Amino acid sequence: MLKISIVQMEVKHSLEENLQKIKNFIELAKGNLIFFPELALTGYKFPFDSSSQKNINEALLEVQNLTKSCGKSVLLGAPHYEENKIYNAVYLISPKTIKVLAEKNLLFPELDKNFFPGKKRELLEIDGFKIGIIICFELRSPEIARTLTKEGINLLAVFAQWPKARIKHWKALLRARAIENQIFVAGVNALSQIENLVIAGHSLSFSPSGEALNKKSEKEEIIEVSIPLKLEKLPYPMKIPCSKISHKIKNLDELKSIVQKRKEKGQVMVFTNGCFDILHAGHVHYLNSARALGDFLVVGLNSDKSVKKIKGVLRPVNFEKERAYVLAGLECVDYVVFFDEETPEKLIKSLKPDILVKGADWEEDKIVGASYIKSYGGKVKRISFEFDTSTTKIIEKILKIYKD
């Protein structure tokens, strides 16, 4: 049995006031693991700059000293500075350690302007439980919760400053994440005022069957919840279907309609192109890095006709349908579309990507479509290579082996 204390706390815009509240709540909490809301230490109006790191570190040490005397562990929302970047993070503070477990990756435009998208997301293992962490706006992404579920978590912990105006979504999404992943979910929300946004609590926890484990409230309080390690077997299995990868391969007209609808929902389209003749680790790293820049990745694939124009009659090694099928099998690739021309200029002008990606070996002024993308406010990103390999090098190696 894991006993957690969910602290629904009024977050001020003062580190000193928040720190004192946090210390008081730790002493009062009955659980062996205590949850505090997103940015509970500082609030959102804190002067976010690298000079503030010292004050934050000192506050974290004060919290740790208290955990040593009371034998409790704390999950606390606070800023994290690293390499001149600042992240919206959740810290684990225990008698033995202070460490960042998660950094907010999906940033909310209205509030998270001071932060960079984070990459850290580490599981917490305590008393036989595995706990995954998401931060506020990330609750709207079922993919993040499902990925953590695949890692074997028992409990999804959600740290938030969720607006009262959308509190119905908060409750519905917490419950949905519990039911669809068959895990416990505990959400801690703050009480605060951020400019015109009212943050009004309603911290809630749910069982894998969607039953609420506590009552909602809008007052400052500690909510004590007990989570059993052994789950009662549900009468239905959790199924994860395998999608047909060929559905990712689209013609231009199909793709234009899909892109338009996804953009209408505020999603960011990333576009790149290439032959991808013999897929290798360099390609996979490049494509995964490109996908991480937005919400969906479209790959413009040179057709066989196009490849022959560029590389000669002996290429491609693999036919276009085979190359497209292999690309579509990558999780990071959302759609593949062919083009017959030597460059993807027609595709780019038809689809109007938000972000155009090429390798770092390309100078920006040499990238086809770069000036067009920037003319309507799009961005051009150049990605460094992680692996020293290429299709040409692979072919040369095979020929050398054959000759030897």
- Tell me: do 75 and 180 sit in the same domain: yes
Q: Is there a single domain that holds both residue 79 and residue 207? A: yes
CA-closest candidate to residue 138, choices 92, 174, 107: 107
369 in a structural domain: yes
Active-site residue identified among 305, 309, 349, 397: 309
| 185/254 same-domain check | no
Annotation marks residue 309 as catalytic: yes
State residue 47's pLDDT score: 80
| 354 in the same domain as 319 | yes
Judgement on whether residues 297 and 214 belong to the same structural domain of the protein: no
Q: Are residues 154 and 57 in the same domain?
A: yes
Q: What is the pLDDT, as a whole number, of residue 258?
A: 95
Q: Are both 156 and 115 inside the same structural domain?
A: yes
What residue numbers bound the domain in which 14 lies?
2-227
Q: Are residues 219 and 346 in the same domain?
A: no
**Domain membership flag for residue 313:** yes
pLDDT by residue for the chain (404 residues), tens only, comes to: 899 999 999 999 899 999 999 999 999 999 999 999 999 999 998 887 767 888 999 999 999 999 999 999 999 999 999 888 999 999 999 999 999 999 999 999 888 988 999 999 999 999 889 999 999 999 999 999 999 999 999 999 999 999 999 999 999 999 999 999 999 999 999 999 988 899 999 999 999 999 999 999 999 999 999 998 877 777 788 888 888 888 999 999 999 999 999 999 999 999 999 999 999 999 999 999 999 999 999 999 999 999 999 989 988 999 999 999 999 999 999 999 999 999 999 999 999 999 999 999 889 888 999 999 999 999 999 999 888 888 888 988 888 888 76
Q: Is the residue at 237 inside a domain?
A: no
Residues 250 and 329 in one domain: yes
Please give the pLDDT value at position 218: 94
Overall domain count for the chain: 2
Annotated catalytic residue within 3, 12, 171, 311? 311
pLDDT for the residue numbered 234: 79
Same domain, 73 and 197: yes
74 and 22 inside one domain: yes
CATH classification of the domain holding 363: 3.40.50.620
Domain end residue (candidates: 193, 227, 261): 227
Residue 375: the pLDDT is 96
pLDDT at 284: 96
Residues 174 and 290 in one domain: no
